[in-house]
Structure formats: C-alpha cells, structure tokens
Amino acid sequence: MPEKHEKNKFSITVCGEFFPEIYPAHRSSKWSRGEEDQLTTEMRLFCACMRWAFNRLLEGASRHEIKKSGQELFGLNSRYADDARLKAQALLDSQTELLKLENEETEKKLGRARKKLSLAMRKLAKAEEKGAASEVIEKLRLAVKGRNKRVVSLAKRLAKLKAYQEKGTIPELVFGGRRLWEKVCQGRAAREKWRHARRNRLYSRGDESKGGNPNIKIFYDGQDFRLAVSLSHLSQQTGTDKLGRPRMSCAPRVEGKLWLPEKHRELVQIWLTMKLPYAVELIRTLEGRYLVHLTFEVVRVQEPDFAKGCLAIDTNPDGVALCNISASGQPEPWPEGLNIPYPGNLGKYEGEFQVIPYPNGFLYIRIPDLAHASSFRRSYLIGVLARVVVDIAFLLGKPIVLENLNFSKDRLDTNKKFNRMASNFPFAKMVGAMYRRAVKEGVPFKLVSPRHTSTIGYWKYMKRYAVPVHCAAALVIGRRAMGFRERVTIELRQLVSQIKQNLTRKVNPDRPGEGKGMTRGVRACLRRLEERLPVHNGLAQSEQEAYNSVWPDLKLLALSVR
C-alpha cells in the first residue's frame, strides 16, 4: 500500500553524497576510540544514544528524562539527543503498528487455512466412504497432513503475537538487522560488519526557527553545495542556565563538498534561499563513503479538479494502461500534435519501452523488464515510467487517477502463482514514484478503490472501444473518481440472457466441470443475477461497488464461459 500522508503534506527525499575535507584539529580523549575520525565518533555516539533511548521508552521514561540523561551519557548536545529519542520513538511506533498488522493478517490466514483443512478432510472422508483408489486416498491424506501442519503453525504464531499485545510489549528488536546477526551467528558474515550497521548513521531534523537545520547545515557557495556537520562531543561546558541545564561552547564542524543529482539541485537551492527546514540523515557505508538523505516537507498538494476530465491509470506488473477521459466521463481522443514523451536515457535493447496506442484516447505503456528486473533496475524503470505518465498529464492539464490496490501479506497464502505475482508487483513503488513526481510538477493526484474495475471494463467497455481489458479498467477507474455510477445496460442484460440460453442448450446441466458450461456454480450465479440485475441501477454508487453487487457474479460468469 502507498504511505498515508497528512492532508496537504508530503515529503520529498533527495539522495546525495558527502565528501569530508576539513576536520577539527583535535580529538576527544573521553569519547573517541582508537584511530576513528571525529565524524565516525559522533555517529557511534548518536546510534548508541538511539538504542539507549529505545530501551528507556520501553520502560516508560519521559522525553525530558531521556533528553537530559542522553546528553550526560553520550556527550551529545540537546538537539542530537532529542533526535535520537525521536528516531527511537518512530521505531517503537512502527513496531507496535506492525505487531497489530501481523496479528490481523495471521488471523485471516488461520481462518483460510482452517477452511481448507475442513474441505480436505471432507474430501478424504467421502473418498474413503466410496472406496476410491489407494493412490487417491493417499494423496488426500497427504493434503490433510500438510494443511493440518499449517493450521498448527499459524495458531502458534497467532498465540505468540497475542501474548505480546496482551503484555503491551513488542518482539525483541535486533539493531543492525536480525538477518545479518543470524548470518554472524552462523559464521556466514563478519561480526565487524554487524557492528558497523549498528553505528553508521547520524540524523538531524529541521527547524524553521533556526533557518533550516542547526546541526547539519547545507549551503551553496556559488558553484557547489557544501555540508557542515556539528561534532557536539567536542564542545565544552561553559556553565549552566537558569534552569540548571549545561551551557556548551560552539561545537566544531566537519565540512566538505556535497554532491547532489543535477535534477534536484534547483529544488535544493530554492529551499535554502527561502530558509525552509529540512531533515538530514548521514549514512556511512562499509567502504567509507558518506551517503546523504535530505528530506523536505511539501505543504502544497493540490486537490484534483475534474472540470476538464482526468488521466486514468491502471497498473499492471509489466506497465500501465492510460485513458484520456473527458468531463462527461467518456474517453476523449488525444489532442492533435500531442507527442508522448519518450525517455532518452534507455536503450539497452529494442522494445525495452513500448508505447502501444489505441483509438479514442487509450494507451498502453509496456516495460517488460518490470516483471523480472533487479531491485535497482526496477526502481530506475519505475522512475522513468512515472516521469512519462506525469508529463502526459501535465501536457493535458488534467489530474491523475490511480487505483489503490492492496497486496498485503494476509492475501499471500498457498497459491504459489498469486504469491509470485503479488511479491514481484511493484505497485507501491509505482504509486510512490508517480505521487512524488506529480507533487513536483504540480499535477493533482487521487487514489480510488480498485473493486470490480476489470470486471466492469470487461463487460461494458472492452468490446465497445476495441481495447484490452486493462485500458477498459482504466476508463472505469477514471469514471469512479469523477463520481459516475456504472449502470447495467440493456445490452448487458441481453448478453447474460444469451449466455444462459447457450449454456443450457449445449451442455448437460447435471455434469459439473469448470469452463464446460452450466455447472452448479454457474447455475447459482445466473440465479443471483436474475434477482440483482433489475435493481442494480437504482442503488447508490457505494452499493454498486460493494462485494455483494452484481459484478462478482459477472466475474464468475466471465471466468466460467471464457
């Protein structure tokens, strides 16, 4: 699922690299270890403070206690100590939310597993009663055994998760990564690598009253961006204030060049000129490189206006289907002279980026590598795809509409084909990339429910406009965002009646078999459609999109007669 954001708030992250050049002349005899430089010492102290703050939060300590004790124990200034507590609090909140989510997903999986077990047991009992072949009975017994093991495993996991919830705790957390720690225990990774992962970052949040970021400053010298990191453990106490808090001398800084991608340099420069707050996270790699993540809070997200229509998008594992929709809710041909922006930075092979146009404002952009490329390559291709889609919407002057698909873990079960497709489907990355690009370009954006969009497109619009089902689904998505209801037409009722006559005439009704005609399931489906089709058009939009509407039965009918 895409991330939830507050209304009119959105964050943009820019990645860069820091090249330290100027270090302070002295080191701290109290806080430094061995030959490590001052910046590495600051990172180690910050990460140690974050782990300590996490444990104190579990004990119920207050922010003031953590902030004050953190300064004394780790030699950090008050802002670094508070930032460490903030990171620890975010980690604790995420683990608490994740525990609740895993509990709900495991309950759903356990319910499905029990239904499958009962079904397998009924089949086994029926086979034994009828005296089926030994091979068939043995196969059914093996299925019952396997499903029973899954039920037991899920029940144990659910009991363990509920025990954590009842106690108000969370599962044990391994800083540095549980998988990496398990590799260290197995002798497959060096212990130093895991230790490095526990102390390799430094974070500082932005402050509008301080003109940006007081601890990690970015500035532009006219030619290049530069970064200055405060080393608070090298500052000295000069006294106390009226509240008894220590007063520290100005901390020395590590300065150096900051490299940023060319496409983000103008945005960062504008942000610095306006003195807006920005958060910085510094990460040190095993090779000694310093990666920089700059996060900016954008507070101007436009609400979509459908006066001109919209550009609807249906996402698929190998690309996206587009539909240019007018204000009347019908597909609108592309404007004359509109050139689909083709990315010029590809070119690994011919056909890597395919633009397949269809009449009446339909389009399919296919990128075959999305289904099987590596993680980095896939992220790059998704960024290219998002740029092309948002540029099309910008040229049309219309908002973007996308379906809000759900591929959470509770849907992953024993269906290997669906599990593979859902795991490889980078839908969340697609939505995130398009959202960020749309915010940067000032293009409005809206997510709608994906329920029954492909089924409606299949029955109502695919043959009418002679387009693939994905393009027809994109039309349904756009119409749903604009508030149009999907009525059952006279032609659709006649088609259902014709299908019923054909199935009754061609196949024996008492012979069950999926895809072979009038099975018991298809007969029940047609019986429900006779009751629901006449009253469908009088329902509200939410009732027409519900799970008990006519569309699930029409989907079953389409799968049965295709």
Tens digits of residue pLDDT in 205-244: 988 888 789 899 998 887 889 999 999 998 877 777 776 6
How does residue 354 score in pLDDT terms, banded at 50, 70 and 90? confident
How far apart, in whole angstroms, are the C-alpha atoms of residue 100 and residue 375? 28
How far apart, in whole angstroms, are the C-alpha atoms of residue 520 and residue 176? 56
Selection from 482, 478, 472, 476 nearest residue 362 by Cα: 472
H or E segment at 290?
strand 290-298
Max CA-CA distance within the chain? 97
Given a cut of 90, whether residue 406 has pLDDT beyond it is: no
Identity of the amino acid at 288 = G
Given a cut of 60, whether residue 408 has pLDDT beyond it is: no
Q: Give Cα separations from 348 to 200, 341, 344, 377, 382 (angstroms).
A: 36, 18, 11, 12, 16
Cβ-based neighbour number of residue 163 at 10 Å? 10
Strand order, beta sheet including 253-259: 201-204, 278-284, 290-298, 10-22, 253-259, 225-230, 216-220
Tens digits of residue pLDDT in 442-461: 888 888 888 889 999 999 99
What DSSP string runs through 432-486?
Answer: HHHHHHHHHHT--EEEE--TTHHHHIIIIIHHHHT--HHHHHHHHHHHHHTT---
How does residue 2 score in pLDDT terms, banded at 50, 70 and 90? very low
How does residue 248 score in pLDDT terms, banded at 50, 70 and 90? low
- CB 278 within 8 Å of CB 212: yes
How far apart, in whole angstroms, are the C-alpha atoms of residue 429 and residue 435? 10
User: Cα-flanking dihedrals φ and ψ of residue 208, to 5°?
Assistant: -65, -35
pLDDT at site 546: 78
> Which pairs with CB-CB distance under 8 Å and at least 24 residues apart come from 530-538?
533/488, 533/493, 533/496, 536/487, 536/488, 537/485, 537/487, 537/488
Given a cut of 80, whether residue 247 has pLDDT beyond it is: no
**Which of 329-338, 469-478, 553-562 comes out lowest in average pLDDT?**
553-562
Domain ranges of the chain: 317-453+468-484, 486-508+515-561
Burial of 417 (0-12, 13-18, 19+ CB in 10 A): exposed
Tens digits of residue pLDDT in 133-150: 999 999 999 999 999 999
- CB 220 within 8 Å of CB 228: no
Within 13 Å, how many C-alpha atoms sit on residue 559's CB side? 13
For residues 458-468, b (16+ Cβ closer than 10 Å) or e, as one string? bbbbbeebebb
pLDDT at site 417: 63
pLDDT at site 1: 34
pLDDT at site 201: 93
H or E segment at 253?
strand 253-259
Looking at mean pLDDT, say which of 170-174, 366-370, 517-521 comes out highest: 170-174
pLDDT at site 229: 94
Selection from 28, 24, 78 nearest residue 49 by Cα: 78
Q: To the nearest whole number, what is the mean pLDDT of the chain?
A: 85
Q: Which CATH architecture has domain 317-453+468-484?
A: 2-Layer Sandwich (3.30)
pLDDT at site 5: 43
Tens digits of residue pLDDT in 279-318: 999 999 999 999 999 998 876 557 888 999 999 999 888 8
Give percent of the chain above pLDDT 90. Answer: 44
Which residues neighbour 364 within 8 Å (Cβ) at sequence distance 6 or greater?
319, 320, 321, 322, 354, 355, 356, 358, 468, 470, 471
Tens digits of residue pLDDT in 40-85: 999 999 999 999 999 999 999 999 899 989 988 998 988 999 999 9
pLDDT at site 412: 54
Cβ-based neighbour number of residue 508 at 10 Å? 11
Query: Taking the chain, what is the end-to-end CA distance rounded to the nearest angstrom?
Result: 31
Reduce the DSSP state of residue 59 to 3 states and report it.
coil
- Structural tokens at position 558: 């389409």
Give percent of the chain above pLDDT 70. Answer: 88
